[in-house]
Structure 1
Amino acid sequence: MEIAAYGVLTDEEPLLRQAFGDALADRHRLRCLRLFLNRDTVPTAAGHEVVLSSVNCTLDAEVLRSLAEGGTRMIAQRATGHNNIDLTAARELGLTVARVSSYSPYSVAEFAWALALAVDRRIVRAAHRTREFDFRLDGLMGRDLHGRTVGVVGTGKIGTAFARIAHGFGMRLLGWDVAENPDCAALGMRYVEREQLFAEADLVSLHVPLLPDTHHLIDAKALDLMKDDAILVNSSRGGLVDTDALLETLRAGRLSGVGLDVYEEEAGVFFLDKSLEVMTDERLARLMTFNNVLITSHQAYFTRDAVSQITGTTADNVRAYLTDRPSDNMLTRPPLG
């Protein structure tokens, strides 16, 4: 059997092939494709019982129906998030859908701190200057994070790893989540309402999943509550931040810095080379014009450690499907037998 993997990155491919070789003993061929699975590309999946998807694939009801008609029975998402998959339609079509429940939380937490430090200390601007032999310090002044307040929105595994680093910096910890995490409380974190967190934090970092209740969690009201010189970091999901509201806040000269590894309209843009095209997304183009905004292309998870775990779990999910074994990673599955 041939398994089709979509949206496979160059550095990811050898790890993916190794994981499937180890898990399936090379009994099945793996076809790695750079293109993303969506309405335009779904015909390429015809005849593949198993397909591997990425977060930038668009698996809505129409795509899932086409997959089912083409013979696909199992979709293995190489990510934890799955808001790009219509699970209701998948259940109705009898498709098995699996995800990677967890991987190295340190990959994302450490990258979120890289964004925070880069915007606080103007690292990108400084690097561009020195490459042109301009060694002035004008406009590069940052501030100590020691003794300041960090607001961690979402204190699961990634949020906890982020909080531990903040504790190492000697910061005051505020947290918000649906339930308190004793590991964070042990660090001295105080859980407060969102509004208080936004109002008191010098640095706000987002570590919650994208759900109906968290969509545009950072809206105009939340941004109005934040300090004029606060730093905002989002390494979770783009839809957590209302881009229009963020743009208005930046136009008003508020926020010391913004670090975004995700963007709410990133599908069809991130992971692709758009350097020779006209950027038609005016909001993304406008964000790029602010010198206190740093945008990266959804790379927080992208370490060898995390990707090895992701590919290994994906291979295990496919093996569980092929051997009719239950798995906690299954989001939908028709009755066995």
Structure 2
Amino acid sequence: MERRTFLRGAVAGGSAAAFGGSLWHGVANAAPAQPGAGPYGALQAADANGIQLPSGFTSRVIARSGQKVTGTSYTWHNAPDGGACFADGTGWIYVSNSEVSPNGGVGAVRLSATGAITGAYRILSSTRTNCAGGRTPWNTWLSCEEVDRGYVYETDPWGVNAAVRRDAMGRFKHEAAAADPVRQVVYLTEDVSNGCFYRFRPTTWGNLSAGTLEVLQMGSGTSGPVTWAQVPDPSGASTATRDQVSGAKRFNGGEGCYYANGTCWFTTKGDNRVWQYDAAAQTIELAYDDSLVTGGSAPLTGVDNVTGAASGDLFVAEDGGNMEICLITPDDVVAPFLRITGQSSSEITGPAFSPDGRRLYFSSQRGTTGSSSGGITYEVTGPFRA
């Protein structure tokens, strides 16, 4: 069966646009994606915001670090990083981490059905280097600390309930999280050069206060079956979590993590790879590897945060490279979707679609200044394919 056959069952539901089907799901030893013409055509000249987009797409600035979000009293945080959207009546909320220390945390901006900003506020404060994270099926945001023996915090996008530290999810240099409601686990990446890929099994699904932390094991290759082993001491008090289980698979700088329809994708920045874990078959393989690109230069480098669209396209943001968000299509084509110009000392963070799939949010973490105080958060609107 061709890979694209699996990719047309997506819906935009709940709190975010679901990622269609399962990219390459169920196909053994599928070749990593290769460069080609993207579905939206060539990038046009940079717009007034310095963003190159395909024809028919437009951008606007939602917020700037150190400035009040338009129409609100909230000052947008420095170094905006991982983010996600949550349905809010007919509108939605975009949450965004702050990757600074010691006072990182998470901010949120509320938007109406027309995209108008109706509020902004803080939902987590006084934490350290909040990098990426992940949304849960019960509509909370997991904000991850990217520091040695960092924590995961469960936050309320509406800002009503206080954030809760989830110690059982382990203490390590957390990067991103992705919930798998079928197997009732949360996958976790670790941002160190010899890091691991984890999953957390809550004792009760929907309650992250207790459970079992496991680490992925496999051979030395890049594809094949995997097993999971329990991490004896998730606190890492005497031995780092990644060093507690013999045979734990090492990944070179775990970054973004995204789950949909039986597959979890995650990126590793040290080797510019996008991995795919088939949760049902318990196998792993490469979806993209810049060193395996043939017939020209690799369009996607500096892989980082990742999200998916209802079409089945995977959107991967660059930390480095040439400040692009690239997409990987169901047909194994990788191509630039947008490029930010004049911000070479920054990185793209926090890509997330509105619940209706018509708007893409993301940030340039350090903007034009190259400083954490220069962050800019954007919205792109256009004819995203369904």
Q: Which has the larger strand fraction?
A: 2
Q: Which has the larger helix fraction?
A: 1
Tell me the TM-score normalized by structure 1. Answer: 0.26
Radius of gyration: which is bigger? 1
Tell me the TM-score normalized by structure 2. Answer: 0.24
